[in-house]
Amino acid sequence: MAVNNSLVKQKKPAFSVFLTQDAVKNKINEVVGGKEGQSFMTAILSAVTNNTALQECEQMSILNAAFLGQTLKLSPSPQLGQYYIVPFKDEKLGVKVAQFQLGYKGYIQLAMRSGYYKKINVLPIKEGELVKYDPLNEEIEVNLIEDDEAREDTPTTGYYAMFEYQNGFRKVIYWSKKKMEAHAKKYSPGYRSDLKKGTQYTFWSQDFDGMANKTMLRQLISKWGIMSIDMQEAFEKDMSALVGDEAKPVYVETETEEEDTTTITATSEDAKVEDTVVIPEEESTKATTKNTEGDTDFFKGSSI
């Protein structure tokens, strides 16, 4: 049953009222199922109630992003880091939308679940750990720091990602920190803005290593990996707002690797995004980037 999207152009009702609409409840039962529907609704309501920035978003975009995570069987808990729902402003339409963002741990989860992969890993390489990397034979030699706390405090100098299929095929890539910095600056206007203004609104600024891990997995899997149907859907809809009854992906900030261009509110289904910008809304935006405890806050924007 279609959900009336005309509410977007009118004054929005409270999200709790939106969830009580028959069409919305029917859609939740259809996607989630009656058994889990009530807990699903409770979780969304709690999340939006505690996040003023999400309250301002187009309501179907919140619901659609949550539906996608549910369909992919990924956990929305920030502690697990599989996916996030983040408020964004669509400059073209002049409305705020909720954007689905897949975390790098979500990529790993979907890849392992496909059954094609025997191993998959991504790891920041710390200062002094890299002994040698041979890109021709894809062989890397490292001496990892054994003390976890000491390693955490050591500056990152590069990134390593690999997978091995069940049949033994293996692929390895390594990027230096300098290369990753150049990639982030080239494809993320938001990150460039952060560097220029000294702000930290993007995930690249908040958690560079986390975004770098995600970039490594996107590069690795999209170019050399086998992608299941779920993985393809997650890859295509990652960093998009799923707007309207049909949940059509809208890319609020689109960065294509073919050309160094940025298109605001691009709607091409082929567009691929590497990063997002959290629009500052005084105190309300700060709330969206704070990683809080408890699953009731799982829709708050967090560092990937």
Q: What is the pTM of this model?
A: 0.68
The pLDDT value given to residue 205: 93
The β-bridge partners of 133 are: 140
pLDDT of residue 20: 84
Annotate 17-26 with b (16+ C-beta within 10 A) or e (fewer).
ebbeeeebbe
Q: Which amino acid is at 20?
A: T
pLDDT in tens, 100-113: 888 899 999 999 99
CB 96 within 8 A of CB 62: no
Instruction: Sketch the domain layout of the chain as residue ranges.
Output: 5-106+238-297, 120-224
Residue-wise pLDDT tens digits, 200-232: 988 899 999 999 999 999 999 999 999 999 989
Write the CA distances from 111 to 107, 164, 219, 222, 231, integer angstroms.
6, 11, 14, 11, 7
Strand partners, 87: 98
Low-confidence ranges of the chain (pLDDT < 50): 1, 6-9, 254-304
